[in-house]
Structure formats: C-alpha cells, structure tokens
Structure 1
Amino acid sequence: MNQEVPDPNSSDLLNNLSGNRRDLLATITKGLHAAATFADVLPELESHMLKFLEAQRLTVYQNARDGQEIIAKYKTGQELLEIRMPLTANSIAGYVAVSGNPIRIDDVYDAEKLRKIHKTLNFNAVYDKRSGFRSRSMMVVPIKNNAPLLGVLQVINKVGNDVFTDDDMKLASHLAGLLAKKFHQEFEATDSPYDFLVKRGLITTEKIEAFQKRMKKEQVTMTYLLVQEQKIPQELVAASLASYHQVPFMRYDPNITPPKNLLKKLNMSYLRRQLWVPLAGDPSEELLILIDDPSDFARQMEIQRALPAKKYIFRVGFPEDILQYLGGGSVSAFLHGLAGDMEKENVEDSERVDEGVEAGEINENEGTVIQLVNRLIIDASRAGASDIHVEPGKGKAPSVVRLRIDGICRQALEIPSTHIRAVLSRIKIMSRMDIAERRKPQDGKIMVRVKGQPLELRVATIPTVMGESAVMRVLASGSGVSFDRLNLSERNYQELDRLMQTPQGILLVVGPTGSGKTTTLHSVIGRINTVERKIWTAEDPVEITQPGLQQVQIDHKIGFNFAAALRAFLRADPDVILIGEMRDPETAHSGIEASLTGHLVFSTLHTNSAPETVIRLLDLGLDPLNFADALLGILAQRLVRTLCEACKQPYKPQEDEWERLRRLYGVQYWDELDRKREDSVLYSPNGCGKCSKTGFKGRTGIHELLVNSKKVTEKIAHKATAEELRAVGMEEGMRTLIQDGVVKVLKGQIDLSQLFRVAVE
C-alpha cells in the first residue's frame, strides 16, 4: 500500500498497548520532557523509539527555521549524520514537510507508485548502496504543533520484513506529537501568529479575536489594525510572525522587482488572492518566495505546482507588502517606514558560475555538498572567523570543521566520512585546484560574494595520514579601523601620531601572523591619506581598501614580488610607500634606500618585539648606520581576546594577584599607574549568549613602541643587543607588551589568562 495517510486518532490504540510498549512510551515521554534539548536525549532514546515503532532505522528532521530546508539531526545505524533537505516535493521527507501530510510507502523502490503520490517524488538509493543497508517500507510523519512545521519523522523498514500498518502510522503520529511538543519548547515557538504580542502585553487575545472579525467585515488586514489602531511597532509584528511560522521575515524593498520571466507564467489576480509572490531566483536552481502564511501547506504545494524549481526559500511578509510587489492594493503610510530588508543569504562566485558536484554521490538532495560548502563560508563570514579548518577523521570517524574566531579554534560541525571527499572536491573546484591530486599540497584561492560583499579565501590542502586536510583563510575586504580605535596608550598614540607626520623614514609594525599588523598599518595610512600625498601600497593579499591609495597585489607566480613592486613605485613619484612585508634582504635594502631618499615607508616584519626587530634586520645584512638614520620607530603588537562587556564579572583582587600584577609591570614603574588594590576592581570571564558562553568577545591590541632617538641610533650603529636596546627604550618611555597588557587588565578590558596566551613574562 502506497498512499497519503490522514493524521489518525490514536487514543484507542494507545489504551490497548502491550505492557512493554507502554513502558517504552513512558520512557520516551519522560526522556523528552527532562532533556534540555532534543539532541541531548536522542542517543539515550534511540533504541526505545525503534522498539516502540518496531522499525530498523529512523531519521528525525528539524525545521532549520531559515525558510529553506529541514535538517536531519540524528540517524540510527553506524553513523551520526546531519543531512539538509530542501523544502521541495522531490524527496520523500521534503514532500511531507511541504504538504504537511503523513505518508506510508510499502516499497520505496517502486517509482511508479511514488509518482502517483506526486509527480516529482523519488527515492535516491545512493545511501543504500554506500551503506549496504536496503530500505524497503517507510512511514514519514510531519512534526508540527498546530500549523507550523517543526520537523519530520522518517521511519524505515518494519522489523520482520513486514510492511507498516495503519496502527503503526498511528503510533508514529503519536510519537511525532511528542517530538512536536519538545521542538515547540526548544524553538521557543508561539501558539498563534500573534501570541508573541499577547505575551508581551501589547494586546489581549480578546482584542485579536475582535480584529479578526473586523478583517472580514471591513476588508482590512491584521497588520493594518495592529499597527494603525493598536500602535504596535511594525518590527514587533514582524517578529511575532517569524516566531510563529519559524521562518525569517522579509520587509518590502522598493529596489526589488519580481522577475518578469516568473510573473508571466502566473495570473496576477491569482497571486493577489493567494498572497504570494516570487521575488528572485531561477527555477533551475532556487526561488525566493514571499508569502503571508508559510505554514499553509496547501499553498506551498500549489506554489510548487505553479512554479517547479529545484529548491525554494520561503519568507513571511505582510499582505500589504506582497500586494505592493504585485502592483495592487492600497499602501498605507506606515509601509513607507519599513526600512531594510532580509537579504537572501547566498554565496555567489564572483568570476564564474559554480561547477556542480554530483549530488547523487551524497544523498537524496542534488547540490547538498555545494550548499554545505556555501554554508561554511557564510557562517565563517558572519562569525568573524579568520580561518576555516576542514580536518579528516580516522577511518569512518567524522571529519571536523573548526573556525578560528578571535584567535581561538572552535568546532563548528562534523562531516560524515562518506561526505568528506566530495566536500574537499568542491573546495578544490572553487579554488581551481587539481581535484585528482591528493598526494601533494596545493594552494589556491576562492573569490566569492556573500550578501553582495566581496570575500576572498586563501586555500591550502595538505595530505595527512588520515586523508586530505584543507584550511581556508578568510580575507574579508573592508575599510579598516580608524586610528583612534586602535586602543593605543596615550604615549604610544602621541608618538605614533608624530612619527607618521614625518616626511621621510621607515616605520615598522611587527608581530606574528594574525596579530593585526595590516589593520594597524592601514589605520596609520588612513590618518595621513590626504589629497596632498601620493601613496602606493604593495600587499599580499590586498585585504583592506581605501580611496586615494594606489594598491597593488603581489603575484609571485610571475615574479612580481615586494622588491619588484618597490622598484616600480620609486619611478612613480611616491610620497608614501607601504610594503606588505620585509621578508628578504633585497626588499629590506630597497625599503631603507627609499626611506633615505625622501620617502615615508611603512612595512611589517614577523618578529616578537620591537628591539628584536633591529637585530633581525641587521642579520639580513642592512648597514647599521643607514638603518639607524632611516628608522623612525618600531611598533610591536599582539591581539588579545577581550572580556565580554555583557557578562564580565567584577571582583576585588587578592593580595597575591595584585603583587603579581606589580611584578609583571615592574615594581620600579608601578607608581606611575597610581593604582591601589583597595580602590581597584578587576574583571573575570563569565559567559552569556552574546559571547557564545566563552566569556570573551572581540579582540584588542597590546603594543610596544620603540621610538628612534639619539641614544637608540647609537646603540643600533654599535650593533647593541636586544636587551640593551630594550633598556634604552624603556628609559625613554617605551613600555613592553606585557606592561601594556597589565594596564588593560586594570582597565577591565582583558584578563591575565588571555594576556599570557599571546605574550610571555
């Protein structure tokens, strides 16, 4: 039997359950009720659910709440998977999600009977082939509370080679009801479209009911009544709809025009009656649909019949907005106050159309790997990650994806071992690497646009004993940070501001990779970037762009390195030159020569401190006298994670901690801070939602500025040691990285644990 099955009343069946099944149901109910989240309790309840349903396997999908897909949070068997399923009728679970109807199938391989249910419905057998498991019968039930979809329960193979019965469907529907209650609680879903407003005391249930009667009588929308009469802000009405429907809200944007090629296939009167409109996309890929009620399963099915597409993205919107897009209906004055829009999140290749990865290799959804890699890039960009690490697992163990955020790696997700090769192939295709070469390291880059903003990723793949590993360095184009926001000490701020106004000489910013050297240099350059100055920069890569600069990208493949760029700049009438890095003797010599011939030169170096930089450059063969004459100053820096302002905890420092701070800063210098323990408050990390429970959010710099002087020049000319240079620098006002960090601990910006992560005593 292959048919859609109505949601049955299971009360009689439940009353007649055997003692064992009744105990299983009680265990499942108790476990779901007690668990904080659904994911927490699944490993414990898996076997109980299978025994209760007398099935071999099951998959539980949750609504992704993005209007695009459902996510399989758990799958029984050998592997723990996360599978994303588009909201389309092409797959069995997707069909149930879209239609809202439970379905029972006796033979998933019977394509003809699947098409009788829906013409696009099919079963992809790739997973069966890969795992050796053969699916036969299946029952799939929507997990929903009232109307909004919360998930899908997919049950596979009745134990004993039988097919599922009507009674089995009743039990599955009952279990789906229990899951719906859990998901409803976990998603913080509301019970009606305007329950969000009622719970906040903005309107009563009785007033909502009265408005609903007036809607029909006066032919006005609920939005109009809530905003115009109840004076509820539009943003809160939008939030209420999004909370109930569990999809993002989209506001009217006059810059968006529904595609004519899509509208010509549809009757405008029909769209106005049905209150939905296609806003973007291509049926061969995905369509963005704005609808006033995305929980209306019948309309979702009608949309998919009227506009067949590979994938759909649903957004909830006001009826007035939909009519405005369709060129009909009156537009109240308040509509003009709707600002902003919910942009469709996607990753666009800035240079070409993405080549596909064969979807059948992965699961039932064509394009799953493409979506996964795109999602990695989107999530990394949104989280402010500097690097994406894709690390293989041993044997059949899942691969791990970690994001480096604020200098710390955090695990983002796991990729099943069956998927990792396809994911790496996709990354290689986007990076223009050889996908067949898995024995040698490869380098490449990806140029994409995320939500309209350019994003470059530097990609490296390296073979390991467990398989290929990939690292993507995220190089987001941006406008940099203003000089005033570098968090410099007063002395460092004044000295650096003075040095950058000098007409000639060389100023260096030093530190390890990822210490913010480029950001600082561009902050300095931005301060002196005026129409009177001609500024050339050579960078690898160009991460920050500024109007008024002539910025050049280094390309080592054609022999265009920093030294070559510097030689070219000297023929181009420069006032200021920025060289991304002094990594070799030729570049270092050229930079010094340029600074001695009337140019202001900025550059970076990978050294640990300002005094050590002098030793490093002299080791590259620079003439001590020339270097001493050219040098303006050296700024060493590190980036330290800052305490979360929303949750950091104040406390009074103990005597031993206070004494340690004094020793770190230097007892002989401590009095200049004018701080007493009894009057001071320090802060410790706590953890909240804004900082992902880490206690830290963002990073700030700690700095060490060695300013050239007569004494420093003499020391350089005589090839003094780093310790001798440090002593002279501190005598003249320089404070070390540790000392600057201690000041920021006392200010409550950082704590000692983070200071010691980046600087040593």
Structure 2
Amino acid sequence: MTVDPKANLAEQGFEGKPQASFREFVAWLGDRLGEGDRQTLAGISPLDLLSWLEGARPTGEEFAKWLSEFSGVPYVPRLAKEEFERRVLPVPFCKAKLVVPVRGTGSRQTVVLTNPFDWELLEDLERTIPRRKKLAILLASVGTVARVLELGETGVQPGGTEGQVVSEEPDTPPQDRRSGDRAYTPERDPEKDHPTAQLAMTLLGRAVAEGATDFLIEARESEAVAKATIAGRAHELQGVPLETGKMLVARFKALAGLDVAKKRTPQTGSMDIRIKRKLIKLRLSTAPTATFENLKIRVLNPAAGAPPLGALGLSRDQALALHELANKDQGLVVFVGPSGSGKTTTICSLLTEVAKEDRSVVTVEDPIEHRIPLALQQEVRNDPEASFRSLLQRAIEKEPDVLFLGEIRGLTSARACLDFSSSGHLALSSMNSSNGATAVFRLERLGLPRAGLADALTGVVAQRVLKKLCPDCKETRPITPEERILLGPFTADPPEAVAQPSGCSSCMATGYRGQEGVFEVIRVGRRMSDLIRDGHPIRELREYAQARGDLLLGDRGLQKIRDLTFSVNDVYRNILLEESIVRSEEPDLTLEWDSDLADPLEAFDAEGHPSAPVMARSKILVVEDEEGTRFLLDQILSKAGYQVVLAGDGGEALLKLESGSIDVILSDIHMPNLDGLKLLEILNQHDIHTPVVFLTGEPSPGFEARGREMGAADYLRKPIQRDVLLACIEKVLE
C-alpha cells in the first residue's frame, strides 16, 4: 500500500513491529523472481537484504513496493527534506542505518526506513525515541532515503560500504572522524538538548576537565557507571540506570560513526570533538557482555606539546644519553615497553627538545598524541591515501633527516626502519617488548637479519609507568623482613626505610597521586654490536650494559624505592618480577624454520606475522590484566615452543580472536572491562568452542564451579607452577 500524498505523513505510519516472517518473505520473493534469484536468496539474513539488492534484478523503488506489499508497512514514493526531523535521532545514526524521522505532532513518532526486518534497528528506535511517543514506521527505497540524508543514490560512498557519508550538513557531526577536516561541536548539534546528549557531554566534559586519559562506561550489577582514569587510577563519575547507560553508549557510537545496531561484536572507532574550544581526539572501543556493551574512550589532546624529558622520571645521565642518541645523523633507536607505558610521549618529548629548523622531521602516527614543533606529522586514517603503508612510503620518499614511526607493527615497518637508518638517516620507533635486550630478539623474530640489526641499532630505551605515592600522606616505615627477601636478589644493600600508600583528601583516599616513568637507556656501541651479531643471549647483553654503568629498569626502580617515590610492592610487581625471570632462565626466541623455505623471511606475511608452518606448536591466547603475570606466562609458554598472543582483558581478547585461529585460551577471571567468566559466556553465545583454561588467585570454589558449568576446560590457581601449567595445556590440546 502507498501513503496518501494529501494526508499528514506522520499520521500514516505502521505502529509496532511487522508480524511478517522474513523467511516467508524470502520464499515469496524467490517465487516472484524465479529460480536463479531463489538460489542467491538461500541463506540470506535480514541484515544482508539491502546488500543483496545491489546486484539483483528489481529496482530500488520496485523492491520497496514489494516489501510494503508483503509486510503491510505503507510505502512512501517521495520524501521531502523538510519532513526530516533532526532532533529525534543523532544524524550520524540516521545516515548509518538509512532512517529518517518524520516531523509531526501527537502521540506517535513516525520513522521512514528501508528494511522492516532489521529487528535490532527497530528495538533501538523504540528505546531512542521520546518515551511519551509510540513508534510508527514507513517504507521507502534506499535512493529516496539517501537523497533526504544527502548521501549518494545508493546510500554509500563510491567504493565504500553502507553507512559511509558522502556529504554532510554544516551543523551535523561528521560521520568519518578520522578525516580530521571537521570536529564535532556539541553547541552546534541540533540534538544537543536531548537528555542523553546532555548527559553524555556533561560526563565527558568532566573527565576532560579533570585531566583524564580514559573515559569509560561499564555495567555494574543493575546499573551502569561512568568512570574517568586519572593518573593511572579509575575514578567513578556517576552511576546511572542500565538503560540510560545503554543510551549513552549508543550516543557515543553514533557520533563516532560506529554501527549502533551491532552490539555483540567489539568495535573500534575515533572522532574529533571541541570541548571549550579545545580540539580533543577520542579513540573508542567497545567490549560486549551478555547484558551490556562496555565502552572505553581514550582521550588525546593533540595540540598539547609533550612534557619535558626532566618531568618523565629519567635520571640526568639517562636524559643526556637520550639527547646524544637523538642528535646522531643516522641509526635506529627503538623505544620498548608495554602498551600504555608512555613510549610515544617520551619520543615526542625528545624530538621537541632536539628540534632544529635545519633538520627535517617526518612522523607517521596512529594517532597523533602530541604536537612536535618543526615536524611534519602525518596521522594514519581509514583511507587508502592515508593508510599506514601509503604514509610510510611517502615519508621515506621525502628522505627526511629523522623519521619517527609510531609503532613497529610487523616485518614491513621493521624493515623500513632498518633500511632507512642504514642509508644515512635517523629512525625512531616503538614496539611492545619487556626490556632493551629482548627488543633485539623480538626484531629478529620478525625476520630482520641479526647482522643488519647490529650495524644499524644505536640505542634501545625501555620504560614503565608506575603510580607515585601521594607526597601528602605516604607513610615511611622500616623495611620488613619479607621486603628484604623480595629485594635480596637485586641489591646487596636494601634500604632501611621504605614508603607505603595511605590515603588523604588530596589523593582521593587512594594513596597515590600522579605517575612517573622508570627507564633504562642502552647505547649500542661497538662491543654491544659485536655481542648482538655473535648471538649472545639476553642475559649477557644486560650484564654487559650493567657492568659498564647503564642503569637498567631494576636499578632505576630500586633508586625510586630509596627516594620514597614508589612502594616496594609496586616496583616488585611491575619491574623486578620480570627481571628475575630474565636472570633465571633465558627465553629461546628463535623460530623452528620449515626446511623447505629457501629464505626465512618468506615465512612471514607482509606485516610480519608468521605464516604456517613456521611455528612448531599451537597458538595460545593469554588473557591477563596484571603485567608481570602476563609476561611470566609469555616466557614459560614461548620457551615451551608455543605461539603466544597476549591480551589485557576480555574485550581485547575478543579482538585478538577475530584476527586469527587460537587453540587454547588461558584467562584470568577478575579483570577490568570484561572479566573471564563474561568472556566465556560471550564465546558460548557465538558458538566459539576454543578451550578455555581459567588461571586465577581466587580461592572461592563457587567461581570454579561456575566456570566448569559454563564449559571451562580446566582451572589452575596462582602462583604459577611451570610444570603444572604445561601439563594442563598439553592435556587440553589432546
């Protein structure tokens, strides 16, 4: 049926959800189209309907009429732009999902859409429209809706996918935030007065004003909680009803151009926003659970310059060594540490301090975190012209004096840094590795020749970031016998007095205020190059650096215990535990090559990931939020010959699972964002049957029983026992 053009469009909508069966519609459509189309329709899902239409015989208008005829939802042949009510739904959401709210008064909110079988979309619409109104729907062709929303005739950008915007109204938030052309300005948003929009900007504004590095929305029992990570600690901003939390998450997803209807799959995205005239970059990632979609937003201020090196926690000698490395005409300097340890901040601080007008600096970053004076900074975007490969190639073609590559991602970027530094230029980059010496073997593991590394590498900088004890309330006391035992393997002269956290009003009763780095700076001279070239193990490289006077991570951590900056427990868990592993057993970081490969480099793909059958054993995903334990598991399993993939929580684990096959998941239970039990629940919902072994310090038998009921393959308790762990993995793999 077709709407009456003379009547009020808003009053002609179909109330509620259509009762028509999608499978019956597909059968009906197949009978109408014939045998050839019936075969292409087999197994199609409701969400694939419009994609199927692109290559099908019926026109968009004809297909919309058929949908209307079968479902009973009235068909709209023409739709004027003036009918578009912009205050009901976020404009990016409308463009992504091809829906148009219609202007009107009364008790109904009519929405024109293109697919009446998209049940998740209908549920989102029911939750999002004003509560006092009932949802009513109309049907139109993709072309009709796209013209109103000022998309292309097909509703997609040429060469793109559904929901990518071609043009936008001046006052609407941009869909593709990665372009950097325009930032979302809340004051100019037509939906700014919507309660959800107001609450979202209020909470985000508070987090930014308080200097937060992350803004989070998480579920907690029957409510959702907004948090801000300030100086490394999460502070609760406000609790809201669970449904309100879902609307807040949907709001931020829509602004960043994410698929609002996709709630069971992790998503990542970005957007630029102006808060009090300050440009802020937001990096969003979602972590779905059974009942909620947790959201984490990383907050970046690209206009802010990096802090001076002296404020980061380097010793005077370490700062001078960094300056010496950065002022060299050629060589490769690699900064290593776990994610979030401040590697990019250190590099930007260094380049800022050594900047010269007669020295060209080009960067390739994802994202740009700090402004570097006199540098040409390029940001990776979801655009073929601004992809990582394209920007890297153009940066090298410019032949700058200094190239800063934000992160070594694989063999391509590692080889580019090596070649660039070997041709008379200086290259700086970062990678995830535990310390300076292990970085050498990580690069070799990617496929770089050891001799080439020995010749090009001029320095390696390792770092950690720890929480500083609050200077106003920290308690100084004599060292305990247990702490002497902990520090005994690392120093013959432990301090007599140490500090511990207490809590006061200035530190919000946490005992900590601010963060500070712990560094090791290793300059690679002739002797160190020879040790690398000759294949000496990690332990010997570190012993040589320490003997010549370099401060390693453990040495610097002990200094800060003596200075009462950090507690013994924090330094041991975050630094010394790894040091003990490196000293006690040398990890074998070599690969077992397939004898049929003429060149070992052929065993890697374009981004440096090992291609089968390079690794001799199975792949294990380790999900653990505590860095020291994660490192220990990595070392034990790697030495046993397994491929190891690391994740800091359940949300990150889901992303890792999407990128490749995993044979066993070894997961902690208690983790931020998404815990181990929720991770297993999501895997079960999606029929992912990868064996899960829980590893936790939780003594409660209730957790073990619950895990086994959900299908956990085994359950191990901390502290880690190497033989027990390996026997368990072998048993599960059998």
Question: Does 2:565 match 1:730?
Answer: no
C-alpha spacing 1:489/1:623, structure 2 compared with 1 (3 Å): same
Q: 2:396 aligns with which of 566, 570, 587?
A: 570
Residue in 1 aligned with 2:143? none
What amino acid is the match of 1:367? H
SS of match in other structure, 2:460: strand
- Residues 35-82 of structure 1: CA distance to partner in whole angstroms, max 9, x if unpaired? xxxxxxxxxxxxxxxxxxxxxxxxxxxxxxxxxxxxxxxxxxxxxxxx
Residue in 1 aligned with 2:475? 649
Offset at 1:416? 0.2
- Residues 680-699 of structure 1: CA distance to partner in whole angstroms, max 9, x if unpaired? x4332222222111111110
* Pairing 1:359-508 to 2, within 5 Å after superposition: 367-393=194-220, 397-477=222-302, 478-508=304-334
Taking structure 2 as the reference length, what is the TM-score of the superposition? Answer: 0.52
SS of match in other structure, 1:568: helix
Conserved? CA contact 1:562–1:580, under 8 Å: no
Offset at 1:581? 0.5
Conserved? CA contact 1:563–1:590, under 8 Å: no
Offset at 1:713? 0.9
Taking structure 1 as the reference length, what is the TM-score of the superposition? Answer: 0.50
Offset at 1:648? 2.2
For 1:559 and 1:738, the matched residues in 2 are separated by 44
Conserved? CA contact 1:664–1:738, under 8 Å: no
Of 579-588 and 641-650, more deviation after overlay is shown by 641-650
Q: 1:613 aligns with which of 439, 461, 473?
A: 439
Conserved? CA contact 1:428–1:435, under 8 Å: yes
Residue in 2 aligned with 1:85? none
For 2:400 and 2:276, the matched residues in 1 are separated by 36
- Residues 596-649 of structure 1: CA distance to partner in whole angstroms, max 9, x if unpaired? 111111100011111110000001111111111111111110001011122223
Structure 2, unpaired ranges of 5+: 1-128, 135-170, 172-182, 578-734
Offset at 1:129? 10
C-alpha spacing 1:129/1:399, structure 2 compared with 1 (3 Å): farther
Offset at 1:595? 0.5
Conserved? CA contact 1:398–1:416, under 8 Å: yes
Offset at 1:375? 1.8
For 2:397 and 2:132, the matched residues in 1 are separated by 66
What amino acid is the match of 2:355? N
For 2:575 and 2:290, the matched residues in 1 are separated by 33
Question: Does 2:356 match 1:530?
Answer: yes
Conserved? CA contact 1:536–1:551, under 8 Å: yes
Conserved? CA contact 2:313–2:519, under 8 Å: no
For 2:242 and 2:133, the matched residues in 1 are separated by 15
Offset at 1:557? 4.0
SS of match in other structure, 1:665: coil
SS of match in other structure, 1:466: coil
What amino acid is the match of 1:415? V
- Residues 243-297 of structure 1: CA distance to partner in whole angstroms, max 9, x if unpaired? xxxxxxxxxxxxxxxxxxxxxxxxxxxxxxxxxxxxxxxxx9xxxxxxxxxxxxx
For 1:556 and 1:616, the matched residues in 2 are separated by 28
Q: Which has the larger radius of gyration?
A: 1
Residue in 2 aligned with 1:584? 410
For 1:408 and 1:368, the matched residues in 2 are separated by 29
* Pairing 1:238-387 to 2, within 5 Å after superposition: 349-350=184-185, 353-354=188-189, 356=191, 367-387=194-214
For 2:527 and 2:438, the matched residues in 1 are separated by 17
Offset at 1:593? 0.8
SS of match in other structure, 2:242: coil
Conserved? CA contact 1:487–1:701, under 8 Å: yes
For 1:598 and 1:372, the matched residues in 2 are separated by 54
Conserved? CA contact 1:508–1:634, under 8 Å: yes
For 1:657 and 1:438, the matched residues in 2 are separated by 47
For 1:594 and 1:126, the matched residues in 2 are separated by 58
What amino acid is the match of 1:426? R
Offset at 1:571? 2.2
Conserved? CA contact 1:535–1:575, under 8 Å: yes
Of 639-648 and 436-445, more deviation after overlay is shown by 436-445
Conserved? CA contact 2:255–2:271, under 8 Å: yes
For 2:495 and 2:215, the matched residues in 1 are separated by 44
For 1:683 and 1:475, the matched residues in 2 are separated by 32
Offset at 1:128? 9.4
* Pairing 1:553-702 to 2, within 5 Å after superposition: 553-558=379-384, 560-654=386-480, 657-658=483-484, 660-661=486-487, 663-667=488-492, 670=493, 677=496, 681-702=497-518
C-alpha spacing 1:126/1:565, structure 2 compared with 1 (3 Å): closer
Offset at 1:454? 1.2
State percent identity of aligned pairs: 28
What amino acid is the match of 1:603? S
For 2:533 and 2:257, the matched residues in 1 are separated by 49
C-alpha spacing 1:542/1:491, structure 2 compared with 1 (3 Å): same
For 2:406 and 2:300, the matched residues in 1 are separated by 15
For 1:373 and 1:760, the matched residues in 2 are separated by 41
SS of match in other structure, 1:595: helix
Offset at 1:521? 0.2
C-alpha spacing 1:756/1:383, structure 2 compared with 1 (3 Å): farther
* Pairing 1:29-108 to 2, within 5 Å after superposition: none
What amino acid is the match of 2:505? G
C-alpha spacing 1:757/1:385, structure 2 compared with 1 (3 Å): farther
Conserved? CA contact 1:386–1:404, under 8 Å: yes
Residue in 2 aligned with 1:749? 565
- Residues 703-726 of structure 1: CA distance to partner in whole angstroms, max 9, x if unpaired? 122221222212211233222222
Q: 2:528 aligns with which of 701, 709, 712?
A: 712
Conserved? CA contact 2:483–2:568, under 8 Å: no
SS of match in other structure, 1:522: helix
Conserved? CA contact 1:562–1:581, under 8 Å: no
Residue in 2 aligned with 1:60? none
Conserved? CA contact 2:450–2:532, under 8 Å: yes
Conserved? CA contact 1:355–1:429, under 8 Å: no
For 1:584 and 1:730, the matched residues in 2 are separated by 30
C-alpha spacing 1:633/1:351, structure 2 compared with 1 (3 Å): farther
Question: Does 2:360 match 1:517?
Answer: no
For 2:243 and 2:130, the matched residues in 1 are separated by 11
Residue in 2 aligned with 1:227? none
What amino acid is the match of 1:641? K
Offset at 1:533? 0.7
For 1:398 and 1:624, the matched residues in 2 are separated by 54
C-alpha spacing 1:743/1:676, structure 2 compared with 1 (3 Å): closer
For 1:465 and 1:660, the matched residues in 2 are separated by 41
For 1:558 and 1:407, the matched residues in 2 are separated by 35
Residue in 2 aligned with 1:312? none
For 1:573 and 1:617, the matched residues in 2 are separated by 23
Residue in 1 aligned with 2:48? none
C-alpha spacing 1:705/1:449, structure 2 compared with 1 (3 Å): same
C-alpha spacing 1:758/1:590, structure 2 compared with 1 (3 Å): same
C-alpha spacing 1:528/1:563, structure 2 compared with 1 (3 Å): farther
For 2:131 and 2:547, the matched residues in 1 are separated by 70
Aligned residue pairs total: 402
